Chain A
């Protein structure tokens, strides 16, 4: 299985900050990568697919980049509702696998 490694595992930030979360795949996954946001006690919400495309309705302060093995999720200006846990997922190779999560607090 492809291993997805996120860094950092947790991150402290403030409203208005710009933050970047990294995700590394154990092998080349081209751009078959998604990002998800999960608030405490809630279901995941899809943010980005194909590494850099925003899902419908996702605010433009979210962006994604990368290809191959290294990817980043950037939040350009943190809003109060953005404090959550973020997961990456590769869907290039079966089975799909997720990163361990990055808690933004």
Chain B
């Protein structure tokens, strides 16, 4: 089965460090989503891209977060500088078409900022 692949699986780092999370969408999927999940907030949409162009990043703190899609097989989410409140599980999902289409999720990057 085709799958969304996320790396790293787990990341522990100190406050102030840069964190980069990577996502390989399912081949042929042209829309990529980044989500954050915490116990308190549940799942939140941070940003999404279609055909590598950012369409909506309204859920993302602009001062420290950035999302890019350098090519069709790689999406990245960066946090710089990281803060303890960024500790969460970050999910990437991909789809063919927009947010109304079925999304396939990766297994997430569990991020802990000390």
Q: Are A and B interaction partners? A: no
Q: Chain A interface (Cβ within 8 Å of chain B)?
A: none
